[in-house]
A = this chain, B = another copy of it.
Amino acid sequence: MRKPTIKDVARRSRVSLKTVSRVINNEPGVLERTRARVQRAVAELDYQPDQSARSLRSAKSYALGLVYDNPNPYYVISLQSGVLSVCRETGYGLQIHPCNSTSPRLADELSALVRNARLAGLVLAPPMSERRELIEHLAAEKIAFVRILSAAEDPRDGYPCVFVDDRDAAYDITEHLIQLGHTRIGFLWGGESHRSSPERFKGYEAALKDYAIPLDKKLIVPGDYSFDDGFRGARKLFALKDRPTAIFGSNDEIAAGVLAAAKAGGMDVPWDLSIAGFEDSPFSKQSWPALTTAKQATEEIARHATLLLLASLERSDDAPHGNKGFSPQLVIRDSTARVRVPPSGN
């Protein structure tokens, strides 16, 4: 009982190989009667076309690659499940490819991957999606891709992308804190290597400016998107003479670190300190108190990106269509509250 081939289907439905091929590829020019007969045979034999043979012959392929370099499991899983959901619907396979975004050989690694595993295209998550020379290398090799990137607007650079307006959302978070009466708001940076990091900072900066709150450099701490940097950064801020009454961590993990530092320092959140994160990871719901944050619809974003990639695969005109922007939404939970001691000025 070996695997049925197109030959078996052809024999059973009394047509040629080619006609079967036409039916399973939904090509036009087959009589409805014939099509139905073939489809019945396909169903009866439980025939499934062989991907290797298919892609060998047609030089097309039926697998996508998902390229990321992100230590955050929640983010990665959401990414995967968004891409996968589209793959399931369209019959594509998915190869995941975590990698090191700082590797100088990344461009070669990716083109080897695509050629070698015959991938139809790549979904590039940040920060790979932000490396200009990588993008151009891929484009030069005629490798199809779509980018997910952090930007306030469509870069209009001719390559397809889905962009997420982190700046806007960071503005909302900062504004939320300001409206609670906070004026000394600490900001903990994410990594240098992700463009989302400066974007979020810009949002923070802009909100302060709009509310005429002077930017105090001592309240701004560099660091990475990690719990430990959140912890350390918070400690640094706590040691200040004039402590912040609120801290905005560039992502939930940083915020979790701040939360831990606050508790270690005997503070009562949110009364002694308001804390906000970014991302809406499950962690933010499950910490105590639950974190105010910005909800990124990562799965939805990944879905859209994948759809976009597939669309660009179909049509060979290379003008990108359907680039789309997303805006994370403010989610107010229990880690932010009205400032307790209003600034002496009021």
* A249-260 vs B, Cβ < 8 Å mask (1 yes, 0 no): 000010011011
Given contacts A260-B288, A286-B260, A115 and B3 within 8 Å (CB-CB): yes
Cα-based distance from A227 to B283 in the complex (angstroms): 10
| Bound complex: CA A264 to CA B288 (Å) | 8
The main secondary structure of chain A at its interface with chain B is helix
B-facing residues in A71-105 (Cβ within 8 Å): 73-74, 76-77, 80-81, 84, 93-96, 98
Residue of B nearest to A281 (CB): B73
Chain B residue nearest to A112 in the complex (CB): B48
Interface residue from B52, B77, B96, B282 paired with A56 (Cβ < 8 Å)? B52
Chain B CB within 8 A of A263 CB: yes
Query: Which of B55, B56, B288 touches A263 (beta carbons < 8 Å)?
Result: B288
Q: Which residues of B contact A200 (CB under 8 A)?
A: none
Q: How many copies does the complex hold?
A: 2
The answer, among B81, B118, B263, B286, for a CB contact under 8 Å with A256, is B286
A287 interfacial by beta-carbon distance below 8 Å: yes
- Interface 0/1 of A266-293, CB less than 8 Å to B: 0000000000000000110111100000
Give the chain B neighbours of A36 by CB distance below 8 A: none
List the B residue with the shortest CB-CB distance to A290: B260
Complex Cα spacing A48 to B259, Å: 50
Question: Number of contact residues on A: which range applies?
Answer: 35 or more
- Indicate whether A48 sits within 8 Å of B115 (C-beta atoms), given known contacts A286-B256, A288-B264: yes
Across-interface contacts of A95 in B (CB, < 8 A): 63, 93-95
Q: Which residues of B contact A52 (CB under 8 A)?
A: 51-53, 55-56, 61, 118
- Among B63, B84, B264, point to the contact of A98 (Cβ < 8 A): B84
Find A77's partner among B48, B63, B77 (CB 8 Å cutoff): B77
Q: How far is the CA of A324 from the CA of B233 in the complex (A)?
A: 43
Q: Measured between alpha carbons, how far is A48 from B4 in the docked complex, in Å?
A: 30
A346 at the A/B interface (Cβ < 8 Å)?
no
Inter-chain CA distance A106–B77, complex, in Å, is 22
Give A98 to B112 CA distance when docked, in angstroms.
26
- A50 contacts partner chain B, Cβ-Cβ < 8 Å: yes
Closest to A84 in B: B98
A36-59, CB < 8 A from B: 48-53, 55-56
Name the B residues within 8 Å of A287 (CB-CB): 260, 287
Min CB gap A275→B, angstroms: 12
Known A-B contacts: A50-B56, A73-B73, A256-B286. Give 10 more (CB < 8 A).
Answer: A3-B115, A50-B118, A51-B52, A63-B95, A73-B282, A84-B98, A259-B288, A260-B286, A283-B286, A287-B287
26 residue pairs bridging A and B, Cβ less than 8 Å apart: A48-B115, A49-B116, A51-B52, A51-B116, A51-B117, A52-B52, A52-B55, A52-B56, A53-B56, A56-B56, A63-B95, A63-B117, A73-B76, A73-B282, A76-B77, A80-B96, A81-B98, A93-B117, A227-B285, A257-B286, A259-B288, A260-B286, A260-B287, A264-B288, A283-B283, A287-B287
Q: Which 8 A-B pairs have the closest CB atoms?
A: A73-B73, A52-B56, A73-B77, A263-B288, A52-B52, A52-B55, A48-B116, A260-B288
